[in-house]
Amino acid sequence: MFKKILLPVDLAEPEMSEAAMPVALALAKVSDADLRLVYVQFSVPIAFADYVPVDLGDRLRLAAEGKIAELADSVDYAQGRVSSIVRFGGVASEVLAEANDWPADLIALGSHRPGIATYLLGSHAAAIVRHAPCSVLVIRGATADKPSTAP
């Protein structure tokens, strides 16, 4: 079935990852697939470079790597079958790049009910679905029945 499942996680909104994690893990176990967690950290815009500490990027990377490694270690799956990576940039473009680089044959991602910003700007999930090099499974989170308060 699947051999490499990529699971984007949002460390700032864990409820989306919490909904997708058990589904991705069950698919990985049934398929005897490797599971990779990917977190995309925003890059500090160049316009703000003079206003942030020089080592901010390194500190953000180290903090994100620690959190996602801890999350990967907590997954109840065979040792060596779960890995994690932190990428910098836009969420959709970096998830797609990781799906190509690794290469994944399934992206399993959490989603939530769209807010007004999603209607105006589009969602990360929609962009990933449209441009993915592999199959994509979108898993609605527990907040799917609740109206979004996001702008």
Q: Which domains can be identified in the chain, with CATH numbers?
A: 4-81+91-144 (3.40.50.620)
- Pairing between β-strand 82-88 and β-strand 34-41 as defined by DSSP bridges: parallel
Q: How does residue 115 score in pLDDT terms, banded at 50, 70 and 90? A: low
Q: What is the pLDDT of residue 114?
A: 61
- The whole-number pLDDT of residue 104 equals 98
Per the listing, tokens 């940039």 go with 89
H/E segment holding residue 141: none
The reported pLDDT for the residue numbered 113 is: 63
CB neighbour class for 113 (10 Å; exposed up to 12, middle 13-18, buried from 19): middle
Q: For the beta carbon of residue 72, count every other beta carbon within 10 angstroms.
A: 18
Contact 80, 73 (CB under 8 A): no
pTM, 2 dp: 0.85
Please check whether residue 128 is in contact with residue 140, taking contact to mean a CB–CB distance below 8 angstroms.
Answer: no
pLDDT averaged over every residue in the chain? 86
Range 19-48 average pLDDT: 91
